[in-house]
Amino acid sequence: MTSSNGPSAPTAVPRRRRSTPAVGDREDLPDRIWTVPNALSVLRLLGVPLFLWLLLGPEEDGWALVVLMVSGFTDWADGKIARWLDQGSRLGALLDPAADRLYIVCTLVALALREVVPVWLVAVLVGRELVLGVMLLVLRAHGYPPLQVHYLGKAATFLLLYAFPLLLLADGEGALSTVAAPFAWALTIWGAALYLVAGAFYVVQVVGLVARDRAASRS
């Protein structure tokens, strides 16, 4: 996948990327900034501090719920629009998962501070992000760009981003909260499990790339 038969393998970064589609796809995207999907990703990022203020400041759960719903819609829309209008870009490939991860981490921390979710769940999922951050540093040290997001990671993000609004609803009172609670926790449990599995796959990929590099350097 990344090895080379010649003695110059450790420095042959361009050849390694061409022979590794899972790593190089993002690098093949156009280098453009001003696109509709990128604007939606930036809008989603700007919604993070607003959401945190609404949830932890005045505790306006209704408006915080609206921000989360808009975030979930833009997360779906930017990918669709990028394909419809052929507006994929390197920046978009970085912004979209970054916005998703930031929302997930910030929302988990905020919900834990409000005692809506247990602290251990936050620790596990934030720990996963820290491990992936170390993996990114390893990739850069070996001359690789960030790996493509695994489809399990996309599914997990989808589940978690839809679980959070339901968790807010379930934290209230009345019949709607009672109905929302089992769906909220089902999405949270499945989303968290897939999130961890996707993270494990990412680590395995990185370890495999590094092992091939070391094997090539010894050949």
Instruction: Taking residues 94-100, report their average pLDDT.
Output: 79
Residue-wise pLDDT tens digits, 145-159: 777 777 888 888 888
Nearest Cα neighbor of 218 from 5, 2, 53 is 5
Residue type, 16: R
Distance from C-alpha of 134 to C-alpha of 137, rounded to nearest angstrom: 5
11: Cβ contacts below 8 Å, ≥ 6 apart? none
How much of the chain, in percent, has pLDDT values that exceed 90? 21
Residue-wise pLDDT tens digits, 26-55: 556 656 778 887 888 888 888 889 989 998
Q: Please determine, for residue 6, whether its predicted confidence score (pLDDT) is greater than 70.
A: no
Q: Encoding tokens for residue 95?
A: 């912004």
Specify whether the CB–CB gap between 15 and 4 falls below 8 A.
yes
Average pLDDT, the chain: 80
Instruction: Taking residues 84-94, report their average pLDDT.
Output: 73
Instruction: Taking residues 77-91, report their average pLDDT.
Output: 75
Q: What is the pLDDT of residue 14?
A: 41
Chain centre to alpha carbon of residue 25: 17
Q: What is the pLDDT of residue 206?
A: 92
Q: Please determine, for residue 187, whether its predicted confidence score (pLDDT) is greater than 50.
A: yes
Residue-wise pLDDT tens digits, 190-214: 999 999 999 999 999 999 988 888 8
Instruction: Taking residues 174-203, report their average pLDDT.
Output: 92
Helices (H), 1-85: 13-18, 21-24, 36-56, 61-84
